[in-house]
Amino acid sequence: MDFPMKAMQAAEEKDIPDSITLGQLKALMPSNPKPRQSIYDFRYEDEDTVSNEIEEFYSYVEMPQVGENWRAWQGSFEGDWIKSSFARRKAHVEILLESLEHRDAEIRFVNARRLQYVLQGKLDLIP
């Protein structure tokens, strides 16, 4: 005989009911108090750290792509992007945009990642 059948027979022999009444349920509730809601540690400010802001903006699925864009950007521009002149940055973006029409898909893909990195704000985060 399997376990559920044995348990049912034992309950019948001892005359144990298989359900409880509403009164019995209400009597049990004070012994099980409601759990208190946990307090979250939110900081209500206009802005947070850069990494926390990025974490809120991107889903967890997209975060590895930010790192891939950063790796694609490495070595594609000599010097400091922020300190470079507008004309130099514009020329580099134009080169990247033109390369999106290249016949080699790998070149198009890498340069699209570089453009996306710049458009995301050139985060300079180490993934």
Q: What's the pLDDT tens digit per position in 23-74?
A: 877 777 777 767 776 666 666 677 777 777 767 776 666 778 888 888 899 8
Name, in order, each residue with C-beta under 8 angstroms of 124's C-beta and a sequence gap of 6 or more: 70
pTM: 0.52
Letter for the amino acid at 126? I
Pick the range with the lowest mean pLDDT from 47-56, 83-92, 94-103, 112-121. Answer: 47-56
- Taking the C-alpha atoms of residue 61 and residue 63, their distance in angstroms, rounded to an integer, is 6
Which one, of 72, 78, 76, lies nearest residue 106 by Cα? 72
